[in-house]
């Protein structure tokens, strides 16, 4: 069962309707807003709520947090993880920014798992 220990969080306006993006990887755009991370992208946080309008505040767990994430498919406990094209968590592949390590295994897309969110500036 997924759980959380949030070290820090940051609230910023969101760039779009993210009402369906709770527990997905997010990055800060050039306007200082949260937007979803894409395939293999770096992420600054994991969205903790579900803001439904651009400009509304969204709170994200920051580096060092143990947080829930929505899986994008099979995730293996102990593996390094990355973002898929819509900000869901997947096992890291060559060229992906490593965003942390999975503490649980997922078998299907949409399943929530716990990770240690520790993004690196290097790729896998």
Residue 124 in any domain: the answer is no
For residues 77 and 112, membership in a common domain is answered with: yes
pLDDT, mean of residues 114-119: 97
Residue 57 in any domain: the answer is yes
Q: How would residue 18 be classed by pLDDT, with cut points 50, 70 and 90?
A: very high
For residues 74 and 38, membership in a common domain is answered with: no
User: Does residue 47 contact residue 60 with C-beta atoms inside 8 Å?
Assistant: yes
User: Does residue 42 contact residue 26 with C-beta atoms inside 8 Å?
Assistant: no
Q: pLDDT higher for 68 or 124?
A: 68
Residue 110 in any domain: the answer is yes
CB atoms within 10 A of CB 99: 28
Residue 14 in any domain: the answer is yes
CA-CA distance, 124 to 10, in Å (whole number)?
26
CA-CA distance, 56 to 12, in Å (whole number)?
8
pTM value surpassing 0.85? yes
Q: What is the mean pLDDT of the chain?
A: 96
Tell me the pLDDT tens digit for each residue of 23-68.
Answer: 999 999 999 999 999 999 999 999 999 999 999 999 999 999 999 9
CA-CA distance, 63 to 6, in Å (whole number)?
9
pLDDT, mean of residues 81-110: 97
Q: Please classify residue 62 by burial: count the beta carbons closer than 10 Å to its beta carbon, then call 0-12 exposed, 13-18 middle and 19+ buried.
A: middle
Q: How would residue 121 be classed by pLDDT, with cut points 50, 70 and 90?
A: confident
Q: Please classify residue 41 by burial: count the beta carbons closer than 10 Å to its beta carbon, then call 0-12 exposed, 13-18 middle and 19+ buried.
A: middle
Residue 49 in any domain: the answer is yes
Domain span at 26: 9-61
């Amino acid at each position: 069962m997924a759980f959380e220990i949030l070290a820090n969080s940051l609230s910023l306006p969101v760039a779009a309707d993210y009402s369906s993006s709770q527990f997905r990887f997010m990055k800060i755009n050039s306007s200082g807003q949260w937007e979803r991370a894409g395939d293999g992208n770096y992420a600054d946080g994991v969205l903790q709520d579900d803001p439904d309008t651009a400009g509304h505040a969204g709170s994200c767990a920051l580096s060092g947090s143990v947080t829930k994430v929505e899986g994008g498919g099979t995730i293996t406990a102990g593996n390094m993880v990355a973002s898929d094209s819509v900000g869901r968590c997947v096992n890291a592949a060559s060229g992906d920014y490593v965003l942390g390590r999975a503490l649980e295994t997922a078998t299907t897309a949409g399943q929530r798992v716990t990770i240690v969110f520790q993004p690196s500036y290097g790729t896998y």
